[in-house]
Structure 1
Amino acid sequence: MNLIWTLLIAFSLLLASNARGAEEVPLQRFAELPRFKDPMISPNGKRIAVTLTLDGRPLMVVQKLYTETDRTKEDPVPFSIGEFFFSWYDWANDERLIVSIRSNVKSRGSLWSLSRLVTASRKGKSMKVLPMTTNLRGYYRQHATVVDWLEHDPDHILAALDNSPTLWAAPEVDLVNVNTGKSRRVVKNKKGIHNWIVDSRGVVRVGVKRPTNRGLRETVYYRETEEAQWEVLQRIDHYHHDRLMPIRFDKQDPNILLVSSVNLAKDENTVAKIFRYDLTAREVVGPFVDTRRKKVLKLLKNALPDVKVDIVSHDRAKKTYIVRTYSDVTPPDYYRLDLNRNALEFLASERPELVGMQFAPMTRITYTARDGLEIPAYLTLPVGREEQNLPLVVYPHGGPWSRDEWGWDNYVQFLANRGYAVLQPQFRGSTGFGIEHQEAGYGQWGHAIQDDITDGVKWVIDRGVADPDRICIIGASFGGYAAAMGVAKTPNLYRCAVSINGVLNLKRMIDDGRDRVFSSVPRAIVNDRKDSEDASPYHLAKRIKAPVLLIAGEKDTVVPAIHSRKMYKRLKKLKKPVEYIELEDGEHWHTNEAHELIVFTALERFLATHIGGASSVQARAEQQ
């Protein structure tokens, strides 16, 4: 393992000093999982826990951070958890970590994603799964979570391990010894609270009861002290713009709760997203500003002006920071900022094999939808190609209540590297563009959302950038739904479609979610069931003309593979051109490099065959 680490860092540094021009990048380079990701620094700033990739799978490793005054060799320590996945990890103290591990389990005919908490020595020894107990119905809590890290008590954390014996999905709070794994109950859950918030003294003082599968009322509970009774701070509809979203307590003032809300964030006189709520006065008393973080970011942006900068992690003293940098044409890099020495040092690249290669800029554009709504989007054009009559890949994001971010994306850059223009419409319903833009997408699956995507394609065609006879639509999850819906609703617009883990039977999705614990919130903003067949690719399959490629993970717990299996059978029965790839043991996320290679290989072949790109001649030659 030490050799692997050494070669990784050496190779990334070597590549960083040998920039190359534009060239066709080997497909496997885009399919590879990140070689260095999610570094978390220990409280004393001496080590990091980080995710590497070994044999095509993510591997967590603890690695020493060397300094000018401490060059004592310490071998990296890999953590083995068998067939489980790492969800996240962080340091409980300088000697022990808490690791969230995840597995996909079949129960009562359905696949479920379950996560557990593990306490482990930084040396990879004495790993203990924190024990859990069932409720009175015999069920364990689906996801064990950390409620608070108790910064002033390095031997303990507060964790939600078990649900209330009688209430569904209502966690109680345990004080857990991170060294032994032993715990004791400190908060019982009699209110049906789903999320807890702890003040800087380690006292659980706020609880949020979210809507379940009946109604949309959300309640925030509060207590002044550990002995006080719970009282209602706010009870309000989940989608009301005045709903307070508690984040955490102010670390300096236990009477101040940091919150957000739609209306607070809409105030034209402030750019703040987080606000200070006085629990005594029961009112917002002003925006919250993290002055130290602001100063550090300013320092970093001055030192690294050509890239975006994120703070990933910092030590307890806030003197050593782990920083992530990126741009649209630069894969992420990681640095250590040491304020004690005023030093900024390169650690590693997320994708060292791609450092120095030329990639395509991601340009922000805006177009007008047919009803007058302004739609933001990103357009990426291939380097070195004339910007007209290009083959176009339309790439809608998942969610749909999410968005694409400006930055380096391996799928987008792969497509551009193969000669395709790439359009990423931020259709109504996308987040981050104002609440009006988001709410305009409620109940609009396959309707106005799909029209926004169509209008974006026409915008690119009208400007001569895209060849109208060479357009394909590709997406994953909701994006996979939009891809299939595109060739069903506008069958003459696209020459092909690729749906990866896509929702393809909208009625089935609505029915499957009806009995989920927190179903009322998403149910309120998705389409009505009675009209769902009008916006369901499965039910509109007869309209499809273009070739369709379906890809699904066998163990996808978010969108079950049965969506793709049934769609494939229906299209075959209708004698429509369709291919289907099911990834054995595959899931919804990008966690298996072998699966990624299968997907990228299939995309390259399928696109080259149907709309042509830089690799089209080669692909056709291989088919002959």
Structure 2
Amino acid sequence: MVAKRILLAVSTFICAAGLVTAAPAQGFKPTGPALPIDVMSKDWNIRSAAISPDGKHIAAIAGIPGQNPVIRVWSTDDMSKTPTQFGSRTMRFTGFQFLNNSKLLVFANQPVAAGAYSNWQSKAAIANLDGSSFLDISNDEADPRGDDRIIGFGLFNRLPSEENVVLMEINRFSGTEIVRLNVNTGRKDRFARTGDNESFDWADSKGQIKLKSELRAANGVYTTFVYFRETNDSPWRELPGLRRTWNERYTLRPVHVSKDNSTIYVVINRDTNFTVLAKYDIATDKLSAPIAENTEFDISSASFGSASDEDALTQDPLRSFCWNGPSTECNYLDPTDKRISNLLERALPGTNISFTSRNGGANVLVTATAPNVPDTYYLLKNERQLIKIGSVLEGWDRKTLGPAEWLYYPARDGFQVPGILYLPPGYNKERDGRLPLVVMPHGGPWARDDMDFDISYWPQMFATRGFAVLMPQYRGSLGLGKAVWKGGDRQWGALMQDDKDDGAKWLVDQGIADPNRMMMYGYSYGGFAAAAAAARSGGRSAGLWQCAISGAPAIDLERISTDWGESRLQRVNQGVTVAGWDPMANLDQVKIPWLVFHGDYDRQADTIHSRSAAARMRQVNPNANFRYVEIPKMAHTLGQMTPEHRTQFLTLILDWMSNNCGNISASFKEPGLKTTASSRASK
């Protein structure tokens, strides 16, 4: 089966005729207000909504001004009733999963001061839906600095056939531990454990772990071996047809084992650019031709079962498959799912829709989103009544937020680079001319952006202030085909950086970007890219950028390649691709204003990167317009940040743009700024 081909048309605001002669938009003002710092800083209004297995309750994390986020729970029988809610004074809730119909597994973070190892510690608890019982189950004796330290928790398998027991995974730096968790008492009994070179890849609804992977090295070559067993008591046996070496490096991800133990469904791109869904025959050790594919994008997932048998307890037909288009899109094979999908597309036009169905489609949790439509949750009852639950950001919509477009632009070597372009609300190129531009590369770099609402708010922060925003899906991005992904190998700061420069130059050629008002902002790997933009301003990118802003950057290539990520597997897998042009070795070439901010609790892209860069800038480039600000107790990810953290760095960004960004500062001023810099700041 071949998914329908998506036809992407670049909109008329970047059509070819007469573009280069457009005048600068010095006086252009967006039609809506600028997204305020205090709105962007507060915890999300409603996020991460989920529906219980029986469809009788919906839960979500809710932000409340002045306190930590809470969990809010609605009864689907009467959505007009005030939901129950509960929270914690000492922990920030970051996520949850339904363990069964009456209990939640709640994930939280708590700051722990430990010198250079200070971090936000992962916590887990079992809670009743009304919060009347809250049982912390994350007590652990492991050294928070040792290899056995916990880096996260998750629900491995809900075991729908068992009443009071689930399988929970405890992710440690040294491997993953699977425990049988009694949801009433909190008792944990070890069920399985991987080494630091192994992973469990799939288990059925009864908790039979049927697939695992193991990474081994021989003569400098790393090879992944895949093993299968029919039950937990059966011996593991290797599947040679799924063996692969890392120098081949392609995607191979099992997504399902058939109930008769004859077939493994895999997402794979061994012989194709884009991942496809194929079947592996266990008896013959052979892989089939694709059974589902898309001509332009990666197949990302597949589900099995039906609307009447959601856990595939009796039969396991292919229910749907999805692909990573500009946003995730799915082909639904189940008649009920297909009918619901068509209904929702009519009811919520112009949005990207996902849904979770319960009770044969009687209760459906719906999420609708778009670049200028904040994630909004609904309950669809009996395919007749669509009830709004809440939104990530209330009061902002298409009228006040900027539109976005998926596009492709040519790099200097002819490679077609995907990207997303945001424009200010109310902008018309022919009337309003050129705009200041922010190029904003994503983190990762093995990641990508999409056309859903960006909950960092960063694209809309710039767009509602009159900037065009380009989010390049540069070579090295994951989920857009093997050519894009592998094209970034060992090209950090080099070809990967050229892709970002070339996107800015292309927008100049299209008459949208003002060549004298362009800057780069990025976070994490994006912060590395902004550091490279600053360091290349004395050479390969001279004259292109007015300033650069790096948030939580990993800057030192040598350090990155040997100290990468939160597991040894990731270091082997991704670390070997890290090489190229090193900004740390070229900081004497920084010629543009450069701001760096970093949280002192960041152990992911460790703070040592920014501290070392600041020290080196003082040594080799003391007269540069450079500033480093360290934000106390701020970790790496958005979910670990407090409103105070976000207020600090958003203020820093807008202050730098107003006062230290060359020609941009001549035409842009953020009113009412109150800079809140920590004591660890330097010119």
TM over 0.5: yes
Q: Note if 1:475 corresponds to 2:527.
A: no
Q: SS state of the match for residue 585, structure 2?
A: coil
Q: Shift of the alpha carbon at 1:103?
A: 4.4
AA matched with 1:46: K
Contact preservation (8 Å) 1:197, 1:205: yes
Residues 125, 372 of structure 1: CA spacing in aligned structure 2 closer, same or farther, 3 A cutoff?
same
Deviations for 1:167-221, whole angstroms, at most 9, x for unmatched residues? x834343322111112333446589632242123332222222469975211211
AA matched with 2:375: P
Q: SS state of the match for residue 493, structure 1?
A: coil
Q: Shift of the alpha carbon at 1:298?
A: 2.9
Match of 1:443 in 2: 490
Contact preservation (8 Å) 1:491, 1:543: no
Residues 456, 230 of structure 1: CA spacing in aligned structure 2 closer, same or farther, 3 A cutoff?
same
Residues 113, 31 of structure 1: CA spacing in aligned structure 2 closer, same or farther, 3 A cutoff?
closer
Q: Note if 1:201 corresponds to 2:247.
A: no
1:551 counterpart (597, 619, 633): 597
Contact preservation (8 Å) 1:367, 1:375: yes
1:521 counterpart (542, 549, 573): 573
Q: Note if 1:605 corresponds to 2:655.
A: yes
Q: Note if 1:336 corresponds to 2:336.
A: no
Residues 342, 255 of structure 1: CA spacing in aligned structure 2 closer, same or farther, 3 A cutoff?
farther
Q: SS state of the match for residue 331, structure 1?
A: strand
Share of identical aligned residues, percent?
A: 26
Structure 1, gaps ≥5 residues long: 1-19
Match of 1:561 in 2: 607
Deviations for 1:376-409, whole angstroms, at most 9, x for unmatched residues? 2222222345633321111111111111112333
Match of 1:10 in 2: none
Deviations for 1:316-374, whole angstroms, at most 9, x for unmatched residues? 65532211111222222111122x35322211121013246422211223221111211
Match of 2:23 in 1: none
AA matched with 2:439: V
Q: Shift of the alpha carbon at 1:542?
A: 0.9
Q: Note if 1:390 corresponds to 2:435.
A: yes
Contact preservation (8 Å) 1:309, 1:326: yes
Q: SS state of the match for residue 584, structure 2?
A: coil
AA matched with 1:236: R
Contact preservation (8 Å) 1:389, 1:464: yes
Q: SS state of the match for residue 450, structure 2?
A: coil
C-alpha distance in 2 between matches for 1:217 and 1:49 = 42
Contact preservation (8 Å) 2:194, 2:200: no
Contact preservation (8 Å) 1:104, 1:557: no
Match of 2:584 in 1: 538
TM-score (norm 2): 0.78
Residues 242, 423 of structure 1: CA spacing in aligned structure 2 closer, same or farther, 3 A cutoff?
closer
Deviations for 1:535-572, whole angstroms, at most 9, x for unmatched residues? 22222111111111111111112111222222223334
Q: Note if 1:496 corresponds to 2:496.
A: no
AA matched with 1:499: S
Q: Shift of the alpha carbon at 1:264?
A: 6.9
C-alpha distance in 1 between matches for 2:657 and 2:280 = 53
Match of 1:247 in 2: 255
Q: Note if 1:124 corresponds to 2:146.
A: no
Contact preservation (8 Å) 1:419, 1:613: no
Contact preservation (8 Å) 2:474, 2:500: yes
Match of 1:79 in 2: 87
C-alpha distance in 2 between matches for 1:297 and 1:154 = 32
Q: Note if 1:298 corresponds to 2:342.
A: yes
Contact preservation (8 Å) 1:391, 1:470: yes
C-alpha distance in 2 between matches for 1:138 and 1:507 = 22
1:422 counterpart (440, 463, 469): 469
Residues 316, 171 of structure 1: CA spacing in aligned structure 2 closer, same or farther, 3 A cutoff?
farther
Deviations for 1:438-467, whole angstroms, at most 9, x for unmatched residues? 111111001100111111111122233222
Match of 1:308 in 2: 352
Q: SS state of the match for residue 375, structure 1?
A: strand
Q: Note if 1:460 corresponds to 2:507.
A: yes
AA matched with 1:404: D
Q: Note if 1:326 corresponds to 2:326.
A: no
Contact preservation (8 Å) 1:29, 1:353: no
C-alpha distance in 1 between matches for 2:400 and 2:470 = 19
Contact preservation (8 Å) 2:73, 2:130: no
Match of 2:102 in 1: 95
Contact preservation (8 Å) 1:475, 1:500: yes
Residues 594, 620 of structure 1: CA spacing in aligned structure 2 closer, same or farther, 3 A cutoff?
closer
Contact preservation (8 Å) 1:608, 1:616: yes
Contact preservation (8 Å) 1:172, 1:188: yes
Match of 1:42 in 2: 52
AA matched with 2:558: K
Match of 1:230 in 2: 236
Q: Shift of the alpha carbon at 1:104?
A: 5.6
Contact preservation (8 Å) 2:508, 2:514: yes
C-alpha distance in 1 between matches for 2:271 and 2:122 = 34
Contact preservation (8 Å) 2:120, 2:601: no
Q: SS state of the match for residue 194, structure 1?
A: strand
Deviations for 1:407-454, whole angstroms, at most 9, x for unmatched residues? 333211110111111122111111232111111111100110011111
Residues 381, 180 of structure 1: CA spacing in aligned structure 2 closer, same or farther, 3 A cutoff?
same
What pairs up with 1:184-195 in 2 under 5 angstroms? 184-187=189-192, 193-195=198-200
AA matched with 2:379: R
TM-score (norm 1): 0.84
Task: Decide which moves more: 52-61 or 31-40.
Answer: 52-61
Residues 328, 192 of structure 1: CA spacing in aligned structure 2 closer, same or farther, 3 A cutoff?
closer
Match of 1:359 in 2: 401
Contact preservation (8 Å) 1:25, 1:417: yes
Match of 1:279 in 2: 282
Q: Shift of the alpha carbon at 1:155?
A: 1.1
AA matched with 1:470: R
Residues 548, 133 of structure 1: CA spacing in aligned structure 2 closer, same or farther, 3 A cutoff?
closer
Match of 1:262 in 2: 269
AA matched with 1:509: I
Contact preservation (8 Å) 1:397, 1:424: yes
Q: Shift of the alpha carbon at 1:477?
A: 0.6
Q: Shift of the alpha carbon at 1:605?
A: 2.1
Residues 514, 236 of structure 1: CA spacing in aligned structure 2 closer, same or farther, 3 A cutoff?
same
Q: Shift of the alpha carbon at 1:516?
A: 5.5
1:616 counterpart (665, 668, 672): 668
Q: Note if 1:148 corresponds to 2:157.
A: yes
Residues 153, 587 of structure 1: CA spacing in aligned structure 2 closer, same or farther, 3 A cutoff?
same
Contact preservation (8 Å) 1:501, 1:559: yes
AA matched with 1:568: A
AA matched with 2:208: V
Count of residues paired in the alignment: 584
Q: SS state of the match for residue 98, structure 1?
A: strand
What pairs up with 1:568-579 in 2 under 5 angstroms? 568-573=614-619, 574-579=622-627
Match of 2:415 in 1: 373
C-alpha distance in 2 between matches for 1:39 and 1:108 = 36
Residues 497, 131 of structure 1: CA spacing in aligned structure 2 closer, same or farther, 3 A cutoff?
closer
